[in-house]
Amino acid sequence: MEKALLEDLVHSLRLEVVYGEDELNRYITTSDISRPGLELTGYFNYYPADRLQMFGMKEISFCEKMGHEERCIIMRKLCNPKVPAIIIARNLEIPEELLKCAKKAKVPVLRSPLATSRLGGDVTNYLEEKLAVRSSVHGVLMDIYGLGVLIQGDSGIGKSETGLELIKKGHRLIADDRVDVFQHESKVTGEAPDILKNMMEIRGVGIIDVMNLFGASAVRKSARIQLVVYLENWTKDKQFDRLGHGDETTRIADVDIPKISIPVKTGRNVATIIEVAAMNYRARSMGYDATKMFNDRLSKLIEENAKNE
């Protein structure tokens, strides 16, 4: 089971720790968030104690209408030791009984100035990314004109060297050699393993630190994989797509990603070709298809020639 460290969530979303600075070394195992509305009425039959508990304006205003004794009873049940943390939105004032019971059960109490819906979305997005099942693929992941392009191919064909040329052209490196991928809905995101962040291996040179050599603008933490470019050695007996009719895909996680194959031989500037492939993919995704336009022109020319005969 994937787990997310509460301390990382606090730092990432800049949450205020009202109580529990020493209790942040606990793990969250679900991205679901509970807003304990029914529980505040006393109904605890299906209380999800394994979830983060979030209080917004509705929950806090409901607490204010309760008597002291009733609040104490409810808060003792809410502050189950299994609860990862209690988060208060809008910088709202925390009921004294809630804080007291949280301290007794050693449940961290956090607070944020964000609106409840915005805060809930940020927490959910963070946890879904952290808790997503991860796998690895071989290749070089680049950010080319804002498009996540995964460069794959046989060993020794020049993937890292092509990635280096793209960096010199102003594009950004996400990962070299091994790319950790995870799926969120129908999107696949790739990032570098911690040990390989900002690093590339260039045969004959060795390991280089891209951020140190080219600056912070040459690297990026992660990117959605939108296009796969497969480099393969050019041979006379193999046919390659020349008009762009191919609708080839490759499956990463449970998502089919568009794929194009580029033949590699002496004299071809592979980095420039990949740049153009990325631009062409973006144009097609925006509704401009050069192949379709060429086919339409060809069909029109054939029709005109047939009429003239």
Q: Which of 14, 65, 242, 265 is catalytic?
A: 242
| pTM assigned to the model | 0.73
Which residue in 159, 171, 172, 259 is the catalytic one? Answer: 159
- The residue from 138, 168, 251, 297 that is catalytic is 138
Residue extent(s) of CATH 3.40.50.300 domains in the chain: 134-294
Residue entry with tokens 């799926």: 183
- The answer to whether 274 is annotated as binding is no
Reading the chain (309 residues) residue by residue, the pLDDT tens digits are 679 999 999 999 999 999 999 999 999 999 999 999 999 999 999 999 999 999 999 999 999 999 999 999 999 999 999 999 999 999 999 999 999 999 999 999 999 999 999 999 999 999 988 898 889 999 999 999 999 999 999 888 889 999 999 999 999 999 999 999 998 878 899 999 999 999 999 988 999 999 999 999 999 999 999 999 999 887 777 666 665 556 789 999 889 999 998 888 877 899 999 999 999 888 888 776 666 666 667 677 777 777 776
Q: Is 177 a catalytic residue?
A: yes
Please confirm, yes or no, whether 3 is among the known catalytic residues.
no
Q: Provide the phi-psi class of 218: left if phi over 0, else alpha when psi is between -120 and 50, else beta.
A: alpha
For helices 116-131 and 6-13, what crossing angle results, to 10°? 130
Amino acid letter, residue 280: N
The annotation status of 153 as a binding-site residue, yes or no, is yes
Does the annotation list 237 as a binding residue?
A: no
Q: Which CATH architecture is the domain 134-294 placed in?
A: 3-Layer(aba) Sandwich (3.40)
Check whether 87 is labelled as a binding-site residue: no
Superfamily for domain range 4-131: HprK N-terminal domain-like (3.40.1390.20)
Q: Residues spanned by CATH 3.40.1390.20 within the chain? A: 4-131
